[in-house]
Amino acid sequence: MHLLAAAAPGGDVGAIFLALAAALAAAKLLGELAERIGQPAVLGELIAGLLLGPSMLDLVNPHDPAIHVIAEIGVVILLFQIGLEIDLRKMLGVGGAALTVACVGVAVPFVLGDVVSRVVGLAPLPALVTGAALTATSVGITARVFSDLGRLHDPESQVVLGAAVIDDVIGLIILGVVGGLVGGAELTAGSVLGKTAVAFGFVVGAVVVGRLIVPPLFDVIARVGRASTIGPMALGLMFVTAVLAQVIGLAPIVGAFTAGLVLAPTRHAESCRDGVTRLGHFFVPIFFVVVGAAVDVRTFADGHVLAVGGLITAAAIVGKLFSGYAAFWFPGRKFVVGVGMIPRGEVGLIFAQMGLTAKVLDAGLYAALTLMVMVTTFVTPPALKLLLGPGRAGGDAGGSAELVTEA
Amino acid sequence: MHLLAAAAPGGDVGAIFLALAAALAAAKLLGELAERIGQPAVLGELIAGLLLGPSMLDLVNPHDPAIHVIAEIGVVILLFQIGLEIDLRKMLGVGGAALTVACVGVAVPFVLGDVVSRVVGLAPLPALVTGAALTATSVGITARVFSDLGRLHDPESQVVLGAAVIDDVIGLIILGVVGGLVGGAELTAGSVLGKTAVAFGFVVGAVVVGRLIVPPLFDVIARVGRASTIGPMALGLMFVTAVLAQVIGLAPIVGAFTAGLVLAPTRHAESCRDGVTRLGHFFVPIFFVVVGAAVDVRTFADGHVLAVGGLITAAAIVGKLFSGYAAFWFPGRKFVVGVGMIPRGEVGLIFAQMGLTAKVLDAGLYAALTLMVMVTTFVTPPALKLLLGPGRAGGDAGGSAELVTEA
């Protein structure tokens, strides 16, 4: 097949291979550079995308169908990995403080973002997408920062991590709802409730049914097959639930996340993690590079974009800081909790990407949202370092952090 | 981006995810089933492709651009892995017997295949491609079979493995030459010599230059970066050399193989292997499934295809058996050496695929060549078992085997 390409040198497989080589090398290089200066690796990967994208070096075309699918596989694997890290029971045990911080931390930025957007003159739907993009804290970035500072087991960290995880689930449901609306569904209370019911119903239903069916199924696979059988089967399950979610109108990542939740408590979770970690190292950075490549850097030169981006970023930061004080009975440092909630990552970028692809957001608003993700991601590590003092040598191990930032 | 797909359920990302899920699960299932009945896993993966392809279940479309690129990545990774396993110095140490068996084992099947093809009425170019498809022994399958039988360190195994490796290199060069010819280059002695010179020149030049530049480069990367930096950088190098090979008119896999050869003797080889093994588990079976899916099973019902396939298969088997006796001074069992050389794998299938894509081979001849690969792959394990007696419990570890058959 590729020999056809060999016969016609410079065919598109060659261009894609070059794009992949550039994306992998630049993501790794800038990711590590970011970490050297105390920033999460994902920031470097985004910048790598900015540099490689059509508006600068033009090596990575985010609209190429194969690159698109590979990036899609990346984000699906990322959410599958996050699902695999989550212990639902333990999450519920962190209790009321985390839940309160999560809910307030979703609601306030959502409303603030929506209001700010309308004030600057956006239509209801773009304003809604912008608000939604402010909701979900990046659990990966947050966990990694606390881990790097050796503070993973502080009470503040526990609340932030619990809240960030709940956040992520709520964010995914909002993603499903808003995704449907962007797709052309009517913006009525009934349709939102309906979407929410379907989204909750799918996640709850898939988790309940999945936990009944999947463990015995994987027990059989493990007994009949070998250790190396579990990985591909878990990937198969991930893809199937992703398609299932898509068929009922949710984002594929919701399905992949659910597949992770289902497999997390089984005795095969470790094999599943093993099976996807290396794949994640390949696919996940490509997703972030593609996300970065979709940013048109020339829009940053636009004063309007910077102004709107600044306002949205302020709404994003104020909203999450406020959420830190929501669990008023929590004895820890509420400001630390608030700061810990600030970074937006995957989900915020996915909203921006979605809005852009569906032409609900224009390039300027997309750039403004990317700016928000970059600033909130960039600002948190030094802020937490300032609040918590110098990190302990070596930091914590940070299992759940590794999957995202090492990726 | 995928939210657009969520807005339009059943979009093509969903179809590709389903195809990937089906390919992964079926490849693993049938691969293990094949191994249970004493056959190499690759056979099961090919059969999985047959079942999932357009002529049967129609779940995997080998002509989808994204599936095509993923399969391409698979075969490039496979050849990179094979290159990484090869110790050039050790290979040269196995000496004259292996080299003789290799050369005779390439020349005789090539000539026999060409002659048989012309006898049944093929034009010069299809006959040449058919002959070329008979040349290279599958080093992965061969190594795995000896490993399974616990005979990896028998003298016969040493010769077969050495010859199969040399075979593979010669096969890759023939691939470059024939690939160029298929692409429309003139079929003259001069052009063949030129192509051969370019192919040899590229491989030798890339290995020499690579060995000068790459180890210090990777030393710097390892010193500046982390353990996890080497993997992505090795992949980047693999893609770049693949594109380089393509630019000068060779197959991308020749470049990937060369990248493996260059990295094999460095102290980073282990990190490189670590970095690609899991990726291989994902991508490589998809390649074989796609290869299988490209077979139109209905052509097997054609008596002419079966007749031509039978003749080609006979040429393939007789040619390699003959090569076993070529190293007449070798004290071991020559018939075992000959049988060990029989299985054709990756490279044979790649020739068939190339011929089909370039429309040099019709569907019937493609099916006949696939039949040849299947039969030679299928026939060897039981034949060797018969010759060597029951396997020792557990078999050998078989490092180089694992990468292909576990993949």
pTM of the model: 0.78
The answer to the question of residue A43 being in a domain is no
Chain B residues near residue A277 by CB distance under 8 angstroms = 278
CB contact under 8 A, B68 and A9: no
Residue B104 has pLDDT above 90, yes or no: yes
**What integer pLDDT is reported at residue B232 of this predicted model?**
85
Cβ atoms < 10 Å from Cβ of B189: 7
CB contact under 8 A, A69 and B251: no
Closest-CA residue to A225 (of B406, B275, B378): B406
Dihedral over alpha carbons B92, B98, B103, B105 (to 10 degrees): -150
**What integer pLDDT is reported at residue A7 of this predicted model?**
32
The rounded distance, in Å, linking the Cα atoms of B84 and A153 is 42
Q: What is the mean pLDDT of chain A?
A: 80
Chain A residues near residue B24 by CB distance under 8 angstroms = 232-233, 235-236, 239
The DSSP secondary-structure symbol of B392 reads P
Nearest to B21 among A239, A282, A353 (CB): A239
**What integer pLDDT is reported at residue B11 of this predicted model?**
46
Mean pLDDT of the A8-32 span: 82
| Pair B50, B295: CB distance under 8 Å | yes
CA-atom Rg of chain A in angstroms: 20
Confidence band, pLDDT 50/70/90 cuts, at residue A399? very low
**What integer pLDDT is reported at residue B91 of this predicted model?**
59
CB contact under 8 A, B182 and A225: no
**What integer pLDDT is reported at residue B395 of this predicted model?**
45
Express each pLDDT in B213-228 by its tens digit. Answer: 999 999 888 888 777 7
**What integer pLDDT is reported at residue B25 of this predicted model?**
92
Residue A19 has pLDDT above 50, yes or no: yes
Residue B385 has pLDDT above 50, yes or no: yes
Residue B317 has pLDDT above 80, yes or no: yes
**What integer pLDDT is reported at residue B3 of this predicted model?**
32
Confidence band, pLDDT 50/70/90 cuts, at residue A93? low
Residue A16 has pLDDT above 80, yes or no: yes
Confidence band, pLDDT 50/70/90 cuts, at residue B92? low
Between A and B, how many residue pairs show a Cβ–Cβ distance under 8 A? Answer: 252
The partner residues of A137 in beta bridges, in order of sequence, read A344
**What integer pLDDT is reported at residue A406 of this predicted model?**
37
**What integer pLDDT is reported at residue B62 of this predicted model?**
86
Mean pLDDT of the A272-289 span: 87
Give the nearest chain B residue to A36 (CA atoms).
B225
Residue B106 has pLDDT above 90, yes or no: yes
**What integer pLDDT is reported at residue B325 of this predicted model?**
92
| Pair A144, A401: CB distance under 8 Å | yes
**What integer pLDDT is reported at residue B186 of this predicted model?**
64
Higher pLDDT, residue A9 or B309: B309
The partner residues of B137 in beta bridges, in order of sequence, read B344
The answer to the question of residue A20 being in a domain is no
Number of domains chain B contains: 1
Give the nearest chain B residue to A228 (CA atoms).
B406
**What integer pLDDT is reported at residue A313 of this predicted model?**
94
Q: What is the mean pLDDT of chain B?
A: 80
**What integer pLDDT is reported at residue B134 of this predicted model?**
93
Residue A287 has pLDDT above 70, yes or no: yes
Mean pLDDT of the A6-22 span: 71
CB contact under 8 A, B183 and A235: no
The rounded distance, in Å, linking the Cα atoms of B275 and A310 is 40
> A113-122, A198-207, B85-94, B351-360: which has the highest mean pLDDT?
A113-122
B397 min Cα distance to partner chain A (Å)? 15
The answer to the question of residue A54 being in a domain is no
> A396-405, B51-60, B392-401: which has the highest mean pLDDT?
B51-60
Give the nearest chain B residue to A250 (CA atoms).
B6
Chain A residues near residue B354 by CB distance under 8 angstroms = 1-4
The rounded distance, in Å, linking the Cα atoms of B198 and B215 is 25
**What integer pLDDT is reported at residue A90 of this predicted model?**
62
Query: Per mean pLDDT, which range of A166-175, A368-377, B103-112, B129-138 is the poorest?
Result: A166-175
**What integer pLDDT is reported at residue B392 of this predicted model?**
52
Cβ atoms < 10 Å from Cβ of A228: 17
The answer to the question of residue A109 being in a domain is yes
The rounded distance, in Å, linking the Cα atoms of A70 and A61 is 12
User: Per the structure block, which two tokens stand in for A176?
Assistant: 């499903």
The partner residues of A344 in beta bridges, in order of sequence, read A137
| Pair A147, A404: CB distance under 8 Å | no
Tell which of B4, B13, B17 to mutate to test the A interface (max A CBs under 10 Å): B17
Chain centre distance of CA B405: 11
Chain A residues near residue B279 by CB distance under 8 angstroms = 278-279, 282
Please list, in sequence order, all residues whose beta carbon lies within 8 angstroms of the beta carbon of residue A123, skipping any fewer than 6 positions away: none
The answer to the question of residue A27 being in a domain is no
The partner residues of B344 in beta bridges, in order of sequence, read B137
The DSSP secondary-structure symbol of B294 reads T
A66 min Cα distance to partner chain B (Å)? 4
Cβ atoms < 10 Å from Cβ of B11: 15
User: CATH number for the domain including B374?
Assistant: 1.20.1530.20
Confidence band, pLDDT 50/70/90 cuts, at residue B185? low
Q: What percentage of residues in chain B have a pLDDT greater than 70?
A: 83
For A76, A97, B6, B85, B206, the CA distances from A355, given in Å and listed in that order, are 18, 32, 12, 47, 46
> A93-102, A317-326, B131-140: which has the highest mean pLDDT?
A317-326
Mean pLDDT of the B139-144 span: 66
Mean pLDDT of the A58-68 span: 89
The rounded distance, in Å, linking the Cα atoms of A182 and A185 is 7
Residue A377 has pLDDT above 80, yes or no: no
Residue A4 has pLDDT above 70, yes or no: no
Cβ atoms < 10 Å from Cβ of B330: 20
Confidence band, pLDDT 50/70/90 cuts, at residue A346? low
Confidence band, pLDDT 50/70/90 cuts, at residue B341? very high
Q: What percentage of residues in chain B have a pLDDT greater than 90?
A: 23
Closest-CA residue to A42 (of A22, A63, A27, A26): A27
Nearest to A21 among B239, B247, B358 (CB): B239
CB contact under 8 A, A2 and B75: yes
B111: containing domain: 2-405
CB contact under 8 A, B25 and A236: yes
Q: Kindly report the three-state secondary structure assignment for every residue of chain A.
A: CHHHHHHCCCCHHHHHHHHHHHHHHHHHHHHHHHHHCCCCHHHHHHHHHHHHCCCCCCCCCCCCHHHHHHHHHHHHHHHHHHHHHCCHHHHHHHCHHHHHHHHHHHHHHHHHHHHHHHHCCCCHHHHHHHHHHCCCECHHHHHHHHHHCCCCCCHHHHHHHHHHHHHHHHHHHHHHHHHHHHCCCCCCHHHHHHHHHHHHHHHHHHHHHHHHHHHHHHHHHHHHCCHHHHHHHHHHHHHHHHHHHHHCCCCHHHHHHHHHHHHCCCCCHHHHHHHHHHHHHHHHHHHHHHHHHCCCHHHHHCHHHHHHHHHHHHHHHHHHHHHHCCCCCCCCCHHHHHHHCCCECHHHHHHHHHHHHCCCCCHHHHHHHHHHHHHHHHHHHHHHHHHHCCCCCCCCCCHHHHHHHCC
CB contact under 8 A, A285 and B232: yes
CB contact under 8 A, A247 and B7: no
Query: Per mean pLDDT, which range of A144-148, A178-182, A222-226, B354-358 is the poorest?
Result: A144-148
CB contact under 8 A, A3 and B179: yes
The answer to the question of residue A260 being in a domain is yes
Residue A268 has pLDDT above 80, yes or no: yes
Closest-CA residue to B119 (of B324, B374, B314, B322): B314
Residue B87 has pLDDT above 80, yes or no: no
| Pair B294, B350: CB distance under 8 Å | no
Chain A residues near residue B353 by CB distance under 8 angstroms = 1, 3
Q: Kindly report the three-state secondary structure assignment for every residue of A327-379.
A: CCCCCCCHHHHHHHCCCECHHHHHHHHHHHHCCCCCHHHHHHHHHHHHHHHHH
**What integer pLDDT is reported at residue A9 of this predicted model?**
31
Q: What is the largest CA-CA distance in chain A?
A: 70
Chain B residues near residue A76 by CB distance under 8 angstroms = 2, 17
Mean pLDDT of the A146-170 span: 75
Mean pLDDT of the A251-274 span: 85
3-state class (DSSP) for residue B344: strand
**What integer pLDDT is reported at residue A363 of this predicted model?**
85
Nearest to A243 among B14, B180, B238 (CB): B14
Residue B7 has pLDDT above 50, yes or no: no
Mean pLDDT of the A19-33 span: 92
**What integer pLDDT is reported at residue A362 of this predicted model?**
86
Chain A residues near residue B238 by CB distance under 8 angstroms = 21
B97 min Cα distance to partner chain A (Å)? 32
> A208-222, A392-406, B292-306: which has the highest mean pLDDT?
A208-222
Confidence band, pLDDT 50/70/90 cuts, at residue B191? low
Chain A residues near residue B251 by CB distance under 8 angstroms = 2-3, 6
CB contact under 8 A, A243 and B18: yes
Closest-CA residue to B43 (of B342, B345, B338, B269): B345
- Helices (H) then strands (E): counts for chain B: 18, 0
| Pair A233, B23: CB distance under 8 Å | no
